[in-house]
Structure 1
């Protein structure tokens, strides 16, 4: 083992963010302080034992440091969560309030304005004072948003608010956790009229003004993409176009990250060096690449600030700074050490980012790219070649291979978070990435520079057509049969196994790296083959999705687009859901629905309320005795005793959303017994 550790000595430091991240992940996955303390004590004991047995050896020293990093990661996540502690609304309320606007976000494609508010005074419908959380988020219809809104504006409005929602069902997006780390204690919808008591001290910020300016020149979703490339604002992209970009594997182009930072830094560096080279006196006395690197660094920092400093942008900015520093020092620029340093900085500043898809996708992609191109065989293959045609073919093959490796690296993450796997993303990106980097972004930069002089219109026109071609590519790829495979919710342990296997392959260099293949393969196979649930019930009991032989049937015909999409994804279905009332096995009235499913050699009967009107208790109690599962958005009488499960409002308050398999009978719940994470215990 010492010989192996010596052979891998240059790779040991790369595991620093991995072990720190393991501690952070353990804190999020384990339920309560007792479990957190037990793991930290166990890791501390391992660290002390390794220090005692080290005797100058590299293996024990590495194990000791790794154990201490796990402890540090858990403490870091715990401290970060406690530092963000703020009051959370305990129940839905209707409030008349005066509030100060903390932030304004225009979502043009959805025709809403999203406001982050700090309430000053709030009263309920009877005029009684209400104590609201210090920071809330409210959405307004675009036509209800008056002039004068903006940061530090003071407004009066009426809003219906509720606590930040947890996952709809097991495997769903946990907005309550995200809201906790954003300091948001309630969300809701505001109603007209909205009165501006004191207008914003200044007009829209630079980011908002730039987004509006771009979208005024480039209409439609193309303008939304142009705004996303410049400011990170994706609110102007239509939902159908955004879905096509996701299905085609091009959604990463809408999130400002490494591609965009690299393009900006590269364009600024080239322009700076070329322009300064026209001054002979300076060119003979100063290293122009250093000045170009310094200008590129300033551009990267400014671009990061302009786009809102999201996690992928911060990671990319840090990486750009390290690349520019390496170039200035004459060192190799893109290495796994650079990626490791970027991950370490992000985890220290925002440990909660580890649990988000954005962090995982960003670092998985860049790690896969760098690890592939650091391999000696790839280096040798892409080395100088006397025949330029063969060299060009090799570069093209390398681009395709890189796309395939990146798709393979991102696939487990996409399956775990989005329950979908794309098949043609690598091919689409071979066209989309060069087109965006070398055509769309330079056109947009030229248009923005010339627009104040009144000369930008031809470039805006070209940019609009360039982005329309990108949208056509997205729609064409997404329309290909099998472009996206819908999968059911994958178990967390399988995802963890796939991540460990992938990191083992990417970060090691000796032949022992291939020991990562079995855990990676097992994890991916289990994720892909995970069985779909037969029944999903939301935490409020209002919505249910039932798997039929032809797809997914929804209990309520008027479920909104978000609920329909979410329940379909969690059910592992890609087709549009149908109404349960239209199914031959269902018998539905205005207020109740009874359906039957045949699973595991037996017939299961399920009854569910489907309106807010009361149902005669005598009939309801009689129905309960005839069915296996009862679902209700209200409290059911104690005499209602189905054969197996009673999912009424008291039960669902304890469990949150529920997913059920009938063969064998298995129940998964959103809320776990004893969960003491602050966003769970506060709600």
Structure 2
């Protein structure tokens, strides 16, 4: 060998390759001092990064094992939502079979940790699915299948909702003159003019009116009131043509009696407030904060609250329940501590916590137990219970428990904005302040001025976090952004917390004696500040912005990303921001329909050259308002011409109907059957509000198809015309009226 030899210190020689000539052959395996070098297989080079990433991921999961339990309500909710996403009703045994199968799998994999985690996750998801399916079967009741234009309706008044110009009654166990008993819904919601005095809750009434099935979505993907009504037990809605006549009948008994008592109390509160406060707007807001009824608030005032980001103050939620329980907790604690004998011998703090629980429960029953309030009273009870047991009262696990219980009580409510926004705000705030130990230390060392600044900073930070947390849900459900929400909440929340709610508790205490007027007046002073704040910020330029509806996929990305961000505590939590930002960008990437027609065919809309919707009627109903809201446009384009050509040249109308032109495609929207002969041979799509049998067009959407499939949305694309219907998105479910 031409290379030099060197010693490695142990007497063994090592070849110095740097000293060998370039043409010197490589040493063979038999050469002295040579050790073979292991070669790396190509597949190992490929798998090495994957194995490294898997190891890093498992290490992160192991480090966060204390947070695993927080994913239980997520899986439970995923299973419940999965039930509602199905295009057809599953067999009655499917949920039970899924739970049993997951349980067997869990038992079989109990010795393998990864298998236990996977099986437990499947069991939680199956439990959510079974809960939603079981709830749907428990609330099953007849739903009206057709309109009944005139009938005599008798029923027990279980709820009275006061609205501008009308009163809405919920009748339980009704009878309808033109319906068989087996076809009669369990409950009806009837609108009665406020010209007639409303009947008292619990009374048996008879009235003459018309009833209809609950309205399906205004367009594919829109809010499904029909589904919500099904789970509320409402099988029909309608109106009365006269006053409701009270019939002599035995009083209600059982749990219904409790419901009636609290309904009567809500009515009594509304009456006392109306007698005390002359201004109807201020009276309606004060009433909403006392008994949870915000239906009487005028639309302009509600619009101001929405535009200013203060609408949550009118919806009784965690803020109100927490304040009410907290005030009573501190008052009872202070009163007991003021008595030396009691303070030295009794557990004052724990007694005050019990009173806090009772106050939260009473307040929830008083305001009608809406879903956010149920969540809030659960969390308040857990917090006060932790005080009684000397435990940490603030924990993400409290939210997880409340989420599971609330979702189990009302699985369909998880799909609504009330549930989602309430939990989003609470979860985000707890996640943000979980590491707030240093702030507590700073507060102890600060003077009164520093504490005041810290309090103001806390309000600002809390408002920012809550606003950002609820923003995606506002975009998805309401297509609206309130730009001044942080500023308006900085004023309204302290006023509500330190003035309005304390006086409301005093008013509650004085109501039984008829002495509540001074407290209600004082409370109303704070309400004036809140109303003025909403009016000021809601009226500013760019107070709010409407955007196109967010698609379901983008919304799911936002939710999963937000959960990932809030549940984990290590750096990888920030991965969730990628999903959140991606989901928030999806409204700009989704095409809106070029043509929309309602389920009854009475109203239609086409997209003008400017990109805005043009309505077939100048009179905008709720359906058209929903279209414009989901389109991100506050106002429509010019309405359809009665005859002739529209300003953009896309729509040609005459007495028989209209012809819409876009991207070389033609869609006929017919008013009279006389137009069938001509337009069925000239248009790719024919939309008619009457039966169109024998029409030769490639696609016909007539009266029967609209009744069967609901509202239709048409998209004019390069390759043709894409059609979506309400039925395509909902399928055939118990609440759609087709089994």
SS at match of 1:184: coil
Question: Which of 364, 368, 380 is residue 304 of structure 1 equivalent to?
Answer: 364
Question: Which of 247, 264, 272 is residue 213 of structure 1 equivalent to?
Answer: 272
Distance 1:423 1:534, change over 3 A: farther
Q: Is contact 2:166–2:191 with CA below 8 Å preserved after alignment?
A: no
2:171 corresponding residue in structure 1: 116
Distance 1:34 1:451, change over 3 A: closer
Provide the C-alpha distance between the structure 2 equivalents of 1:516 and 1:538, rounded to a whole number of angstroms: 38
1:530 aligns with 2:584: no
Q: Deviations over 1:488-515 (max 9, x none)?
A: 2222122111111110110011222222
Q: Deviations over 1:132-185 (max 9, x none)?
A: 323222111111x456x2334233322211111110112222111111111211
Distance 1:47 1:193, change over 3 A: closer
Q: Deviations over 1:437-460 (max 9, x none)?
A: 111122233344446666544443
Q: Deviations over 1:268-297 (max 9, x none)?
A: 122222223343322221122222111111
Provide the C-alpha distance between the structure 1 equivalents of 2:90 and 2:163, rounded to a whole number of angstroms: 47
Provide the C-alpha distance between the structure 1 equivalents of 2:150 and 2:388, rounded to a whole number of angstroms: 58
Give how far 1:16 is off: 1.0
Distance 1:668 1:94, change over 3 A: same
Q: Is contact 1:422–1:484 with CA below 8 Å preserved after alignment?
A: yes
1:489 corresponding residue in structure 2: 549
Question: Which of 666, 672, 679 is residue 623 of structure 1 equivalent to?
Answer: 679
SS at match of 1:536: strand
1:172 corresponding residue in structure 2: 222
- Correspondence 1:441-480 to 2 at 5 A: 441-450=501-510, 456-480=516-540
- Correspondence 1:162-241 to 2 at 5 A: 162-198=212-248, 201=251, 205-218=264-277, 219-241=279-301
1:72 corresponding residue in structure 2: 127
Q: Is contact 2:95–2:130 with CA below 8 Å preserved after alignment?
A: no
SS at match of 1:580: coil
1:17 corresponding residue in structure 2: 73
1:141 corresponding residue in structure 2: 193
1:89 corresponding residue in structure 2: 144
Distance 1:462 1:674, change over 3 A: closer
Give how far 1:318 is off: 0.5
Structure 1 segments unaligned to the other structure (5+ residues): none
Q: Deviations over 1:562-614 (max 9, x none)?
A: 23421211222123665223852444456634444x4xxx244444346xxxx
Provide the C-alpha distance between the structure 2 equivalents of 1:547 and 1:654, rounded to a whole number of angstroms: 25
Q: Deviations over 1:630-666 (max 9, x none)?
A: 332221242352xx64322122233311223324543
Distance 1:139 1:111, change over 3 A: closer
Distance 1:681 1:226, change over 3 A: same
Give how far 1:106 is off: 2.9
1:675 corresponding residue in structure 2: 731
SS at match of 1:337: helix
The alignment of Structure 1 onto Structure 2 pairs a total of residues equal to: 663
Provide the C-alpha distance between the structure 1 equivalents of 2:550 and 2:677, rounded to a whole number of angstroms: 37
SS at match of 2:679: helix
Provide the C-alpha distance between the structure 2 equivalents of 1:188 and 1:553, rounded to a whole number of angstroms: 29
Provide the C-alpha distance between the structure 2 equivalents of 1:668 and 1:40, rounded to a whole number of angstroms: 33
Q: Is contact 2:492–2:529 with CA below 8 Å preserved after alignment?
A: no
Provide the C-alpha distance between the structure 1 equivalents of 2:476 and 2:96, rounded to a whole number of angstroms: 27
SS at match of 1:672: helix
1:100 aligns with 2:141: no
Q: Is contact 1:122–1:129 with CA below 8 Å preserved after alignment?
A: no
Give how far 1:81 is off: 0.3
Provide the C-alpha distance between the structure 1 equivalents of 2:577 and 2:92, rounded to a whole number of angstroms: 30
Distance 1:403 1:528, change over 3 A: farther
Question: Which of 605, 620, 639 is residue 559 of structure 1 equivalent to?
Answer: 620
Provide the C-alpha distance between the structure 1 equivalents of 2:250 and 2:530, rounded to a whole number of angstroms: 37
Question: Which of 498, 507, 514 is residue 438 of structure 1 equivalent to?
Answer: 498
SS at match of 1:501: helix
Give how far 1:628 is off: 4.2
Structure 2 segments unaligned to the other structure (5+ residues): 1-56, 252-259
Q: Deviations over 1:539-581 (max 9, x none)?
A: 1111112233173321122333x23421211222123665223
Provide the C-alpha distance between the structure 2 equivalents of 1:153 and 1:312, rounded to a whole number of angstroms: 29
Provide the C-alpha distance between the structure 2 equivalents of 1:36 and 1:672, rounded to a whole number of angstroms: 23
1:383 aligns with 2:444: no
Q: Deviations over 1:203-261 (max 9, x none)?
A: 96112211222233223222222112121111221111112212222111111111001
Q: Deviations over 1:461-497 (max 9, x none)?
A: 3333321221221122222333222222222122111
Q: Deviations over 1:334-365 (max 9, x none)?
A: 11011111111112222222111111111111
Provide the C-alpha distance between the structure 2 equivalents of 1:448 and 1:41, rounded to a whole number of angstroms: 50
1:655 corresponding residue in structure 2: 709
Give how far 1:194 is off: 3.7
Provide the C-alpha distance between the structure 2 equivalents of 1:251 and 1:272, rounded to a whole number of angstroms: 31
CA RMSD in angstroms comes to 2.9
